[in-house]
């Protein structure tokens, strides 16, 4: 009888570490691999992981960055105990390989794996390497990367971000059709606009990227601004804004006013916003104070949205933070996006995540310090449907639907 292979996953602290790990765990479970998990008892993995049927072993560890002198003085003692507890867990489980997905909990478990001679795989799933992973990478058997970072020793070690199964399947050029139709309609309007300006051009041109660019370039900068403005007047823009499960205060305070500012320019939008837990009443009151019910726009704040894929695909544009999972989920749905990265990360983690799409002209970014209703409107008025379509099209090549399969294949080489 063949002995069942065992994988110990270590991940904790945030959903950005836990949910990619769950995607890989489910793939391995489907292939009859025994999964165990190490996390902490006071973070979200304690609630989430057992619901998926995986045994959760916990150790006590916390980050010391920005926690003050007392935490730094305690760190050597708490870390040593965490390593000892991790060794005990690993000896009990006897996994074939340990896979680290991120979070402070990975440090002592990774060290314990090294001391016991158990193979260690590290996944860095952000656009910048975290402190714990910087340490573990020095002795890990293999380090994989979600983003194309220069530290990847081989191109095949850049694997993308593992996502849950429904996101793995959604990436398709079919997702582009609604934006393509709007871009085609916009091309007709562009030809009419040029004709009204008595510009010379070939009337029988059909829409494609080259022809749009050729005709658009006939406009001077002021005419381009005027046309972009007109474009959103002709076809209503569908926007989805999301700040995570707890919301993002800066989005909650500025999106309703942005709808008002756009309406004053005769641009009417359909904006659905996930405002987060306990924020709905405040956002509804803000919309009421702005009298948004008296404009032709639709503003719909919702506390929490279950089917994110459906909502992403129903939008022409997304406005959101740029956590690693979010970046790859949006790329999988092929949707234009304006990122507003969290500012409190010292290593600019979310900004560097966003750059994966921004550098390929597949997204835009407004820094948290610069974001308000006015700057958002100014940014929107430099867009049109052709630009949105091209952003979405680029994402079809930047999504990583095979990430889970690639990571699983690397793990199995240690069986």
What pLDDT score was predicted for residue 72? Answer: 44
Residues 6+ apart with CB under 8 A from 354: 127, 322, 327, 339, 341, 363, 365
Average pLDDT over residues 119-141: 95
What is the pLDDT of the chain when averaged over all its residues? Answer: 93
Percent of the chain with pLDDT over 70: 95
Strand-pair partners of 274: 242, 302
CATH code: domain 6-163+401-412 is 3.40.50.2000
Comparing 129-133, 230-234, 375-379, which segment has the lowest mean pLDDT?
129-133
Which residue in 214, 201, 272 sits closest to 243, CA to CA?
272
Question: How would DSSP label each residue in 297-323?
Answer: -EEEEES--S-HHHHHHT-SEEEE---
Percent of the chain with pLDDT over 90: 85
Cβ-contact 399, 15 below 8 angstroms? no
**If you search the block for the tokens 């714990």, which residue do you land on?**
132
- pLDDT of 225 strictly over 50: yes
Residue ranges covered by each domain of the chain:
6-163+401-412, 172-395
CATH class of domain segment(s) 172-395: alpha beta
Residue 253 CA: distances (Å) to CA of 26, 142, 156, 237, 407: 38, 44, 43, 20, 40
Our measurement of the distance from residue 15's CA atom to the centroid of its chain's CA atoms, rounded to an integer in Å, reads: 11
Average pLDDT over residues 305-330: 96
204: helix, coil or strand?
coil
Which residue in 42, 56, 54 sits closest to 13, CA to CA?
42
Sign of CA dihedral 9, 14, 19, 20: negative
What pLDDT score was predicted for residue 343? Answer: 86
Q: What is the largest CA-CA distance in the chain?
A: 82
Residue 256 CA: distances (Å) to CA of 120, 234, 284, 383: 48, 21, 9, 19
Sign of CA dihedral 23, 26, 31, 32: positive
CA separation for the pair 60, 12 (Å, rounded): 12
What pLDDT score was predicted for residue 75? Answer: 56
Q: Which two structure tokens, joined as six digits, stand for 231?
A: 């474009």
Annotated binding site for UDP-N-acetyl-alpha-D-glucosamine: 14-16, 126, 164, 245, 305, 350
Average pLDDT over residues 70-96: 82
- pLDDT of 138 strictly over 90: yes
CA separation for the pair 59, 62 (Å, rounded): 10
What pLDDT score was predicted for residue 1? Answer: 56
- pLDDT of 406 strictly over 50: yes
Query: Is 202 buried (19+), middle (13-18) or exposed (0-12) by CB count in 10 A?
Result: exposed
Q: Cβ of 181: how many Cβ atoms within 10 Å?
A: 14
- pLDDT of 147 strictly over 70: yes
- pLDDT of 20 strictly over 70: yes
Comparing 2-11, 307-316, 341-350, 388-397, which segment has the lowest mean pLDDT?
341-350
Average pLDDT over residues 309-335: 97
What pLDDT score was predicted for residue 73? Answer: 45
- pLDDT of 113 strictly over 70: yes
Reported confidence tier of residue 154, pLDDT bands at 50, 70, 90: very high
pLDDT digits (tens, 9 = 90+) for 183-208: 999 999 999 999 999 999 988 999 99
Supply the pTM of this predicted model: 0.92
pLDDT digits (tens, 9 = 90+) for 23-81: 999 999 999 999 999 999 888 899 999 999 999 999 998 754 545 445 444 556 678 99
Q: What are phi and psi of 53, to 5 degrees?
A: 90, 10
CATH topology match: 6-163+401-412 vs 172-395: yes
Annotated binding site: 14-16, 126, 164, 245, 305, 350
CA separation for the pair 288, 295 (Å, rounded): 11
For residues 64, 68, 69, 74, the Cα torsion angle rounded to the nearest 10 degrees is: -40
What pLDDT score was predicted for residue 244? Answer: 72
Average pLDDT over residues 160-173: 92
């Amino acid at each position: 009888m063949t002995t069942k292979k065992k994988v110990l996953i270590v991940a904790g602290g945030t959903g950005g570490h836990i949910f990619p790990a769950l995607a890989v765990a489910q793939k391995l479970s489907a292939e009859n691999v025994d999964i165990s998990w190490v996390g902490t008892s006071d973070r979200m993995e304690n609630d989430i992981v057992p619901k998926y049927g995986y045994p959760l072993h916990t150790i006590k560890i916390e980050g010391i960055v920005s926690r003050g002198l007392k935490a730094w003085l305690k760190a050597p003692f708490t870390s040593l105990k965490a390593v000892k507890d991790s060794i005990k867990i690993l000896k009990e489980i006897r996994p074939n390989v340990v896979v680290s997905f991120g979070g402070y909990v990975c440090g002592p478990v990774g060290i314990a794996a090294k001391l016991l001679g158990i193979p260690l795989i590290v996944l860095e799933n952000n656009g910048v390497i975290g402190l714990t992973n910087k340490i573990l990478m020095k002795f890990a058997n293999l380090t994989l990367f979600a983003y194309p970072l220069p530290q990847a020793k081989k191109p095949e070690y850049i694997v993308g971000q593992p996502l849950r199964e429904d996101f793995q399947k959604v990436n398709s050029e079919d997702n582009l059709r609604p934006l393509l139709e709007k871009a085609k309609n916009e091309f007709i309007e562009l030809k009419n606009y040029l004709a009204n300006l008595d510009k010379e051009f070939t009337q029988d041109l059909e829409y494609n990227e080259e022809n749009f660019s050729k005709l658009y370039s006939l406009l001077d900068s002021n005419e381009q601004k005027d046309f972009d403005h007109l474009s959103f007047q002709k076809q209503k823009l569908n926007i989805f804004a999301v700040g995570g499960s707890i919301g993002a205060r800066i989005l909650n305070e500025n999106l309703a006013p942005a709808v008002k500012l756009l309406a004053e320019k005769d641009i009417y939008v359909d904006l659905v916003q996930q405002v987060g837990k306990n924020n709905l009443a405040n956002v509804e009151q803000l919309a009421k104070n702005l009298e948004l019910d008296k404009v032709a726009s639709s503003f719909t704040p919702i506390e929490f949205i279950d089917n994110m894929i459906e909502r992403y695909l129903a939008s022409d544009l997304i406005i959101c933070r740029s956590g690693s999972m979010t970046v790859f989920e949006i790329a999988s749905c092929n949707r234009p996006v304006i990122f507003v990265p969290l500012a409190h990360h010292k290593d600019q983690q979310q900004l560097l995540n966003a750059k994966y799409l921004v550098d390929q002209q597949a997204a835009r970014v407004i820094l948290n310090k610069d974001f308000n209703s006015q700057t958002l409107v100014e940014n929107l008025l430099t867009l049109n449907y052709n630009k949105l379509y091209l952003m979405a099209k680029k994402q079809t090549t930047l999504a990583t639907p095979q990430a889970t399969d690639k990571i699983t294949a690397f793990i199995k080489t240690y069986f």
